[in-house]
Amino acid sequence: MSAKECNHDTSKWKLTGSWAGAWKIFAGIGALGLAGAGVGYTQDPKRFAFSWLFAFITVLLVGLGALFFVLVQRLTAAGWSVTVRRTAEFFALGLIAMVPLFAPVLLTMNTLFPWLGHGEEHGGSHSSIQLVTPAYAQDHAPAEAVATAEPVATAEGAAAPTAEGAAPAAAKAEEHATEHHGDDAHGAAAHAAQGHGAHGPAGDPHEIFEKKALEKKAPYLNKNFFLIRVVFYFAVWVFLAVRLFGYSTAQDKSKDPKLTLAAQRFASPATFLYAITVTFAAFDWIMSLDPMWFSTIFGVVIFACGVVASYAVLILVTLALRKSGPLDGAVTVEHYHDLGKLMFGFLVFWAYVSFSQFMLIWYAALPEETTFYHNRWDYEPWANVSKAIVLFHFVVPFFWTISRNFKRNVGRLQIGAAILLVMHVVDIYWFVMPNFQLGKPGFTFHWLDAACLLAVVGVYGAFVFHRMTQFPLVPIGDPRLERSLHFQNA
């Protein structure tokens, strides 16, 4: 065993051959996507805003997941993962490319985020669940409005707030009872019609309630603070990615083991920064698309999405690079076994936190919390998408990769990773796109979704694969390289 030491050719772990030009292909895809997205923006700016945000988040999470992988390897002083760590470092470094790609989100933020004050059009149709009764709205309405309605409202109370509102309110109660089992499209349409009829003299009770809630959230959800946070998130991510990449590549030349120790020390505070920024970025960029809805575990769910997706990317990319030569001999079935274990573990973690979020909301059944699942389970096409996510983001990949032998079967693991990567795209689509026309049926796929995804994947991929041509694909100066090359699962 020890005789094998240092007889491998470190120069072969370079991105040469068929993959050296990969970044150009990605650049081409990105240019095509950008052109399409540009055309789409002129045609349908609102759709472009949501499509771009979906594409941006999808790719961003892959980069953040890779950053997490590097952090964990540093935190645990891992020896096994040295040969695959550089690939993750490249993908984490790709977060630099995500900074300019955020510009379209800033450009369209007034369309995306209802709380920015330009979202009046969202207000009325915002949620189709009755958050407040008309009576509540009147009790909390401005004084002059209550004064005009007083004779009826105080006398008859909650059952019949106004003469004109009484009949629809009664109808609504019936509608509520049947809605869950009835025809969704019909239920929603009837509901929307009643929404108008139920207006008290103080205005739409939904709007009043939302306005009050948003006023309370304004110290956090306001434009300036939002922009400050955007800068903070990107500053942290780019700093962490560049720093971790720098430790590793500096070691390629100096072979100084002290750099490993420095990276390990750096990883602990970095993990705190990472956790805070990822959680709040998930709140800011996805959760606040529907500012009335909240879930404290949401950041963890989004984090889990990204980690699973980045393991899938790591497996697929190292497999491709191993097959075509550059990583030949560096990444073995033992590494895939471990990557498979981690992907499987985080897959279960994703299911666990996703179900926990659903379970608590379902159990408590608070109207302002249930909107999230109401919009995703009671409307087509989202009901089917939700079922597909349960099946193909958990059940199928779970049994597909559960056994040790399944994970060590590289071809099988590759299929599992591919399924999970596709489902990651679907999952983020499911998080973002229902906000495009919240609480309304008839959502359809738009070519802009694909164009934006191609644009973001292309630019990110071009950046990552171009960096790969500049540095060795394996940390050749790492003191634990030998251990990783001969690593075996006990």
Provide the binding-site residues for other proteins, judged by CB under 8 A: 1, 355, 358-359, 362-363, 365, 402-405, 486, 488, 490
* Cβ closest to other proteins, residue 261 vs residue 359: 359
Q: Closest approach of Cβ 395 to other proteins, in Å?
A: 12
DSSP, res 394: I
Q: Give the helix ranges, DSSP H, for 76-162.
A: 82-93, 95-101, 103-107, 109-112, 120-124, 134-139, 143-156
Please, what is the minimum distance in Å from the beta carbon of residue 352 to other proteins?
Answer: 8
For residue 194, report the phi and psi dihedrals to the nearest 5 degrees. -70, -35
Which of 148, 489 has the CB closer to other proteins? 489
Phi, psi of 443 (to 5 degrees): -70, 135
Q: Which is nearer to other proteins, 44 or 482 (CB)?
A: 482
Residue 125, Cβ density class (10 Å: 0-12 exposed, 13-18 middle, ≥19 buried): middle
Task: For the chain, report the end-to-end CA distance as a whole number of angstroms.
Answer: 16
| Cα separation, 229 vs 288, whole angstroms | 14
356 vs 469, beta carbon nearer other proteins: 356
Q: Judged by CB, which is closer to other proteins: 267, or 481?
A: 481
Q: Is 147 or 395 the residue whose CB approaches other proteins more closely?
A: 395
Closest CA to 196 of 249, 128, 143, 295: 128
Nearer to other proteins, 107 or 360 (CB): 360
From the CB of 161, what's the least distance to other proteins, in Å? 24
| Closest approach of other proteins to the CB of residue 129, in Å | 14
Which amino acid would we find at residue 322?
Answer: R
Closest to other proteins by CB, 2 vs 11, is 2
C-beta of 25 vs 388, nearer to other proteins:
388
The minimum distance between CB 488 and other proteins, in angstroms, equals 5
The whole-angstrom separation of Cα 285 and Cα 287 is: 6
Minimum CB separation of residue 446 from other proteins in Å reads 32
Q: Which residues contact 286 (CB under 8 A, 6 or more apart)?
A: 57, 298, 302, 431, 432
Least Å from the CB of residue 362 to other proteins: 5
Amino acid at 484: S
Burial class (CB in 10 A: 0-12, 13-18, 19+), 74: buried
Return the percent helix, strand and coil in the chain, to nearest 5. Answer: 75, 0, 25
Q: How far is the CB of 41 from other proteins (least distance, A)?
A: 41
Q: Which residues contact 151 (CB under 8 A, 6 or more apart)?
A: none
| Minimum CB distance to other proteins smaller for 272 or for 363 | 363
Q: How far is the CB of 473 from other proteins (least distance, A)?
A: 25
Task: CB nearer to other proteins: give 242 or 388.
Answer: 388
**Cβ 4 to other proteins, closest distance in Å?**
13
Supply the minimum distance, in Å, between the C-beta of residue 333 and other proteins.
Answer: 12
Distance CA(394)–CA(259), nearest Å, equals 39
Residue 105's CB is within 10 A of a number of other CB atoms, namely: 17
Minimum distance, C-beta of residue 365 to other proteins, in the bound complex (Å): 7
Report the distance separating Cα 82 and Cα 18, nearest Å: 24
Distance CA 197, CA 366 (A): 24
Nearer Cβ to other proteins (6/490)? 490
For the chain, the residue count is 490
- Whether the CB-CB separation of 372 and 432 falls below 8 Å is answered with no
Q: What residues contact 329, with CB distance under 8 A and at least 6 apart?
A: 8, 12, 485
CA–CA distances in Å: residue 85 to residues 43, 67, 78, 200, 348: 43, 10, 10, 61, 23
Asked if residue 305 lies in contact with residue 430, where contact means CB atoms within 8 angstroms, the answer is: no
Q: Least distance to other proteins from the beta carbon of 366, Å?
A: 12
Question: Considering beta carbons, is residue 118 or 404 the nearer one to other proteins?
Answer: 404
Per the CB < 8 A criterion, the answer to whether 350 and 306 are in contact is no
